[in-house]
Amino acid sequence: MSLRSKSVLGNRIYDAALSELADRAIHLWAVQLSAPDLIVQHCLTMLSSDERARAERFRFEYLRRTHVLSRAILRALLGHYTSTPPAKIRFSYGSKGKPSLVVPSVHFNCSNSAIMALYAMTRSCDLGIDLEQIRAMHDIEQVANRYFCPEEARQLMSLPPAERDSAFFHCWTRKEAYVKAVGDGLSMPLDSFRVTLMPGEPVEFIHIGKDPDAAKQWTLHDVADIPGYAAALAYRDAPRPLLSSPVVTATEILTRLGSL
Instruction: Say which CATH number the domain at 193 has.
Output: 3.90.470.20
pLDDT at 11: 43
The answer to whether residue 218 sits within a structural domain is yes
| C-alpha closest to that of 166 among 197, 123, 124 | 197
Question: Which whole-number Å values give the CA distances from 210 to 127, 178, 180, 185, 195, in the listed order?
Answer: 21, 15, 19, 20, 12
| Structural domains in the chain (count) | 2
| C-alpha closest to that of 237 among 142, 90, 120 | 120
Q: What is the pTM of this model?
A: 0.92
- Average pLDDT, integer, range 176-183: 94
Q: Are residues 168 and 116 in the same domain?
A: no
Q: State which amino acid sits at residue 165.
A: D
The answer to whether residue 111 sits within a structural domain is yes
Cβ–Cβ < 8 Å for 257, 80: yes
pLDDT at 225: 78
* pLDDT one-digit tens code per residue, 60-97: 999 999 999 999 999 999 999 999 999 999 999 887 78
